[in-house]
Amino acid sequence: MANPSPKRVREQVVVYLDKRDRALLEQLTKATGLPKTELFRRGLRHLADQALAGTAPGFSLRQLVTTAANDDLPPDVAERADDYLYRGKYQRRKPRKRARPR
């Protein structure tokens, strides 16, 4: 019998904000469309990137994978990055011809 995948455990945290921070949180919520909890998570991860940079091998990649999981990207974005970035209008330049040696 296979073990079921472990459930993500979350812990509730209470944060007290003054009026200025509360207004900033409301502005970010409206501007991004993200829930307040997600804004706090992203802010925490961003601060961790700055404060803990280079703490362990693979740290940056682990953080990148964690934050990329929240992005709404097509599944083939790695294969077709140019198509998505340049909308199919990207054309590779032909290599320049070298001058003939004399």
Domain layout of the chain by residue ranges: 36-68
* Measured distance CA(26)–CA(5) in Å, rounded: 35
Q: What is the pLDDT of residues 48-65, one digit of tens each?
A: 877 877 666 666 677 677
Nearest one of 19, 20, 23, 70 to 44, comparing CA atoms = 70
**pTM of the predicted structure, to 2 decimals:** 0.46
Tell me: pLDDT of 88 over 80.
no
- What distance in Å separates the CA atoms of residue 85 and residue 79, rounded to the nearest whole number? 12
